[in-house]
Structure 1
Amino acid sequence: MATSVGKTLTHADVNSKSVDWTNGITKASRDVAWYQASLTRVPETAIQVFREYSGIPDEEILDHIYKVRDQAWDVLPYPCIGVFRFLDFPACLSPVYEEVLGRVSAGETLLDLGCCFGQDIRKLVQDGAPSDNIIGVDHESRFIDLGYELFGDRETLKSRFYTGDVFAQDFLANMRGQIDIIFVGSFLHLFTFDQQKVVLAQLCKLLRHREGSLVFGRHVATEGKGGTLRMDTLGWDVYHHSPDTIRQLWDTAPEGEWEVTSELMPYASEGWSNGVNWQGGNHVKQQYFSARWQ
């Protein structure tokens, strides 16, 4: 039985319940504010990945993106799909990306939680990280399959992909204590603060309990006090973190002492034609954060 996004979860709930963060909205027409029919320009990072990693001729890149994006839209009408936000390859925009790339290249293990197409995994591999040091997890197996189609690397990529529910008691139980770095991109904002506390408890189980273990990511945010907001264009509830609330979240971690840093930036994307109008205005920000085990 799905649990409403608005309900507070306790750690006991992780034993038996999942979360329907869409409020039941799993289908949408293309006549919505968060569906962009075409790209005004393909971001340069995306061009490089498709050209150099996937070997797609420049003149075929745009049609290839449209084909896979529209298949994904029919799976779940998520804004990052509708407005091509996956083409940002957001992990590489993080202030800690160069550190992460170096650590994974040196043999550490990275988990991309909520990996969608695995776009950030491909960017890491293109930049020199060994693919067999990287793991991707998503709740939706069809996104993982579409990732192979998008990047054309089913026979060459050695990264491991899994489907799973982060609220399940046995979530990635065989990997506990084996992960050095976790990336959560456009993920935490899907859940209430109390639900994020349950997610954080799961992350603590997965990470190696040692100095330097790292969680980093990005999500929608606000300069205000933070909290759950109803996105009227979506019909979904989305949590907007502030610099204070992201630190408050890690204060609830059941294990470890954490150094938390964050940076608010304009909510933007190179490929958008609608700006942030579908979100309601420039008051919406994005937050890059990192949390480091001390």
Structure 2
Amino acid sequence: MAAPVTFQRVADLASTIDKSVESFTNGKAEPSHQVEWYQPKLTNLPETARKLFKDYSGINESEIVEHIHRVRDRAWDILPYPCIGVFRFLDFGAHLSPIYPTVLERVIAGETFLDLGCCFGQDIRKLVADGASSDNLLGADTEGRFADLGYDLFKDSGTLKARFYTQSIFDEVFLPEWHGKVDVIYLGSFLHLFDFEKQKIVVSQLTKLLRRKKGSLVFGRNLGADQGGAFRMNALGWDLYRHSEQTIRKLWAEAPDGDWAVSAELTRYQSEGWDDGRRSWQGDEIKQMYFSAVRI
């Protein structure tokens, strides 16, 4: 069993994600539409999104795209993340994971689910649309205004019972009221924001939240590559981390509090809502990884 990771100050640990607007806009003081990761129009509404906005949110089909544009552009003015600029939140990425049917079955049965880095809470809405009760669903993000926009995006402020928290995983005490009470945690486009040592801090925090029993689960998706490691995404000016199957297993091999069975697969980096199906600024060497880690 690996030794617990030693904590340092939040300012040292979270520097990768604590970016000013200038960090997302190539030095401009305001959110800019003149960057490669801002797609002006949604030219292809994914079928999953169309069905969810129609059946769950009750939006007329002819109004869905315009509605998405309005909320997306409000979010862009808050923080111009690439996943917002290119409508990647419309993937509802958790349901694309190979383990999603198992996750859905467990959540429907009453297990507690946390979406870490939840943005609008779109994956929480997908679970509810697929039959899960929202009572046992949690979301956490460092930007609380995204949760508010989520209610606007999905038109469910009067019905959704999920709980949203504005907090950083690098806070020394993270969601203390949920320690040992969470069954499933989802990490969507999250791990690749941090170097390997910071990811060890993330994993250490997650193990505090998860129930100390066989079957506790973390799953997610992130940037991947055949050869894992840190790299510079020049278009964004960011230092990110691509996992290979070997590096994601190494990360969980060093996790505290138990042993973990890890599964991982690399796929093409793409999104249904992108206007070209694949953003050219990513490069062919970047892939997408789906992974799961189950306590054994």
TM-score, structure 1 as length reference? 0.93
**Is the partner of 1:13 in helix, strand or coil?**
coil
1:284 maps to amino acid = I
- Report the Cα distance in structure 2 between the residues aligned to 1:36 and 1:148, rounded to whole angstroms: 23
Query: Unaligned 5+ residue runs, structure 1?
Result: 1-9
Give the ranges of 4+ consecutive aligned residues of structure 1 lying more than 4 Å apart after TM superposition: 14-18
> Any conservation in 1 of the 2:189–2:220 contact (CA below 8 Å)?
yes
> Any conservation in 1 of the 2:7–2:201 contact (CA below 8 Å)?
no
Question: Match for 1:247 among 231, 246, 249?
Answer: 249
- Report the Cα distance in structure 2 between the residues aligned to 1:91 and 1:199, rounded to whole angstroms: 19
Question: Match for 2:6 among 1, 11, 25?
Answer: 11
Question: Match for 2:19 among 6, 24, 42?
Answer: 24
> Any conservation in 2 of the 1:132–1:159 contact (CA below 8 Å)?
yes
Count the aligned residue pairs. Answer: 284
1:263 and 2:265 matched: yes
- Report the Cα distance in structure 1 between the residues aligned to 2:20 and 2:238, rounded to whole angstroms: 8
Shift, 1:25, TM fit? 4.2
> Any conservation in 2 of the 1:114–1:185 contact (CA below 8 Å)?
yes
1:222 aligned partner = 225
1:137 aligned partner = 140
> Any conservation in 1 of the 2:94–2:188 contact (CA below 8 Å)?
yes
1:7 aligned partner = none
Shift, 1:140, TM fit? 0.3
> Any conservation in 1 of the 2:270–2:279 contact (CA below 8 Å)?
no
- Report the Cα distance in structure 2 between the residues aligned to 1:219 and 1:45, rounded to whole angstroms: 20
- 1:174-189 equivalences in 2 (<5 Å): 174-189=177-192
Shift, 1:23, TM fit? 6.7
- Report the Cα distance in structure 1 between the residues aligned to 2:10 and 2:61, rounded to whole angstroms: 48
Change (3 A) 1:133 1:84: same
> Any conservation in 1 of the 2:7–2:172 contact (CA below 8 Å)?
no
Shift, 1:26, TM fit? 2.1
Shift, 1:12, TM fit? 2.2
Measured against aligned partners, the alpha-carbon deviations of 1:241-266 in whole angstroms (never above 9, x if no partner) come to 11110001001101111000001110
1:36 maps to amino acid = Q
Shift, 1:230, TM fit? 1.1
1:232 aligned partner = 234
- Report the Cα distance in structure 2 between the residues aligned to 1:182 and 1:14, rounded to whole angstroms: 24
> Any conservation in 1 of the 2:195–2:241 contact (CA below 8 Å)?
yes
2:72 aligned partner = 69
Query: Unaligned 5+ residue runs, structure 2?
Result: 26-31
1:5 aligned partner = none
- Report the Cα distance in structure 2 between the residues aligned to 1:44 and 1:276, rounded to whole angstroms: 17
> Any conservation in 2 of the 1:140–1:163 contact (CA below 8 Å)?
yes
TM-score, structure 2 as length reference? 0.93
1:102 aligned partner = 105
> Any conservation in 1 of the 2:13–2:198 contact (CA below 8 Å)?
no
- Report the Cα distance in structure 2 between the residues aligned to 1:260 and 1:208, rounded to whole angstroms: 17
**Is the partner of 1:239 in helix, strand or coil?**
strand
1:286 maps to amino acid = Q
2:294 aligned partner = 292
Shift, 1:91, TM fit? 0.4
> Any conservation in 1 of the 2:113–2:185 contact (CA below 8 Å)?
yes
> Any conservation in 2 of the 1:188–1:219 contact (CA below 8 Å)?
yes
> Any conservation in 2 of the 1:259–1:291 contact (CA below 8 Å)?
yes
- Report the Cα distance in structure 2 between the residues aligned to 1:83 and 1:173, rounded to whole angstroms: 34
- Report the Cα distance in structure 2 between the residues aligned to 1:181 and 1:24, rounded to whole angstroms: 28
1:3 aligned partner = none
Shift, 1:16, TM fit? 7.0
**Is the partner of 1:38 in helix, strand or coil?**
coil
1:54 maps to amino acid = S
Shift, 1:24, TM fit? 3.4
Matched-pair identity in %:
56
Shift, 1:36, TM fit? 0.7
